[in-house]
Amino acid sequence: MPTFDLYANDPGASHWQVPASGDARFSWEYDDGRDRLLALYQKGKDKQWDGLKRIDWDLEVDPHDPLGTPEEAMTLYGTPYWDRMTDRDKGELRRHFASWQFSQFLHGEQGAMICAARIVESAPDLDAKFYSATQTMDEARHAEIYGRFLHEKIGMVYPINDNLRSLLGDTLRDSRWDMPYLGMQVLIEGLALAAFGMIRDTTNKPLPRQILAYVMQDEARHVAFGRMALRDYYRQLTDAELREREEFVIEGCYLMRDRLRGVEVLENFGIPRAEAEQLSERSEFLQLFRRLLFSRIVPCVRDIGLWGKRLQQAYVDMGVLELGDSSLDLLMAQDEEIAEKLDAERFAAEEKERVAEVQEAIEAGQDAGD
Ligand SMILES: [Fe+2]
Ligand SMILES: [Fe+2]
């Protein structure tokens, strides 16, 4: 079914055109790659997987409770709106929220694919181009999977959130070659990764859990790449240049924290925007969620060397400064482990089923022989 038939709100024109700036760069040195980057490229090739085969699409999803979200975690919980809602309304609200959230993931993955392709074009060295080409493919697979989940299992899609779109636009319009890394790999992917992780670790529904665990396994490589490339580059920048990058990060973080909350959904349920914003502000669950959203970004910006006074102050304001101490390496190792463990569990269950089937066939054969 065409996606345009599934949009909850009018997405406007069918395409969004962002003028490209900056140079496409060729490199004639084919044999001088950095070992760490080439190793990551190799890993990118080795670890490609096909969502068509690896994900069990036969698993059913209840579109009115796709994630098993507990009531208390819903923004409207504890308000008069919630009390007035029938069970049917509550199911509809859950469907809209899941659709909104996964739609932002979907549009974000398309953005990630386009940024990765941009990096193929603009990065000066061939090792970075090679690696980024594998990431472009990773992001295409992710967009394919989220798109399928929304079309087949939720049956509803939301347009891209205005603020996500503006951050994506700023990232793509900038002609400095490090900006797609910083805006996309560090900020947008950092946020997405934290959101994926929270859902992966709390949902009791097997299909979304598979999707998120496997997508996160790839994202660990993407974060590693952004860190390597930026850490090397930012060592060479002047203080003034570093401050510019920090300003961009500060602004992006505030924007994502304050404006990415699914107010569009509440508006669709007849709640005026100002009130919807207030309700989201007050929701205890969302406050926790917002803090956790920074769990991947803060240690990353610190790691790449953007850790000036103003940035630290901004993180103090947001109450997330201490997240800078957490270990990204550990988080990423866990992401890979969780995906591998899930595979092992599923494989063991399938194996058990297969053995039981064989056993049954043998017994049936014996019965027939008797
Ligand atoms: Fe992705
Ligand atoms: Fe990614």
Instruction: Quote the ligand 1 centre to 289 CA distance (angstroms).
Output: 20
Residue 25: pLDDT over 90 = yes
Measure 358 CA to ligand 1 centroid, in angstroms. Answer: 40
268 CA distance to ligand 2 middle (Å): 30
Q: What is the model's pLDDT at position 301? A: 93
Put residue 129 in one of left, alpha, beta given phi > 0 → left and psi -120 to 50 → alpha: alpha
Task: Supply angle C-alpha 57, 59, 62, rounded to 5.
Answer: 115
The pLDDT tens digits for 120-154 are 998 889 999 999 999 999 999 999 999 999 999 99
CA 271 / ligand 2 centre spacing (Å): 34
Distance 271 CA to ligand 1 centre (A): 33
What is the 314 CA–ligand 2 centroid distance (Å)?
26
Ligand 1 centre to CA of 223 (Å) is: 10
Q: Express each pLDDT in 70-102 by its tens digit.
A: 888 888 998 999 999 999 999 999 999 999 999
Give the pLDDT band (50/70/90) at residue 300: very high
Q: What confidence tier does 229 reach under pLDDT thresholds 50, 70, 90?
A: confident
pLDDT band at 364 (very low <50, low <70, confident <90, very high): confident
- Kindly report the backbone phi and psi dihedral angles of residue 67, in degrees, each rounded to the nearest multiple of 5, phi listed first: -115, -5
Q: What is the mean pLDDT of the chain?
A: 91
Ligand found nearest the CA of 185: 2
Please name the helix (run of DSSP H) or strand (run of DSSP E) that holds residue 213, with its range, or none: helix 206-234
Please report the pLDDT score of residue 223 as a whole number.
85
Q: 108 CA distance to ligand 2 centroid (A)? A: 9
Superfamily of domain 37-362 in CATH is Ribonucleotide Reductase, subunit A (1.10.620.20)
Q: Whole-structure pTM over 0.85, yes or no?
A: yes
pLDDT at 8: 94
Percent of the chain topping pLDDT 70 = 99
Q: pLDDT per residue over 232-263, tens digit each?
A: 899 999 999 999 999 999 999 988 887 778 89
Residue 352 alpha carbon to ligand 1 centre in Å:
33
The average pLDDT across 43-51 equals: 96
Q: How far is the CA of 222 from the centre of ligand 2 (A)?
A: 5
Contact 166, 250 (CB under 8 A): no
Q: How far is the CA of 356 from the centre of ligand 2 (A)?
A: 40
More confidently predicted of 328 and 102: 102
Q: Which ligand approaches the C-alpha of residue 215 most closely?
A: 1
Domain regions of the chain by residue span: 37-362
Give 135 Cα–ligand 2 centroid separation in angstroms.
7
DSSP-derived letter for residue 160 is P
Measure 361 CA to ligand 2 centroid, in angstroms. 45
Residue 257 CA to ligand 2 centre (angstroms): 20
What's residue 181's pLDDT? 85
Which of 23-32, 179-188, 268-277, 336-345 has the least mean pLDDT?
179-188
Separation of CA 215 and ligand 1 centre (Å): 6
Distant-in-sequence, close-in-space partners of 55: CB < 8 Å, separation ≥ 6 = 145, 207, 210, 211, 214
Is residue 53 predicted with pLDDT exceeding 70?
yes
pLDDT at 370: 64
Half-sphere exposure (Cβ direction) of 152: Cα atoms closer than 13 Å:
14
Cα of 147 vs centre of ligand 1, distance in Å, is 12
pLDDT confidence band for 199 (50 / 70 / 90): very high
CA of 109 to the centre of ligand 2 (A): 7
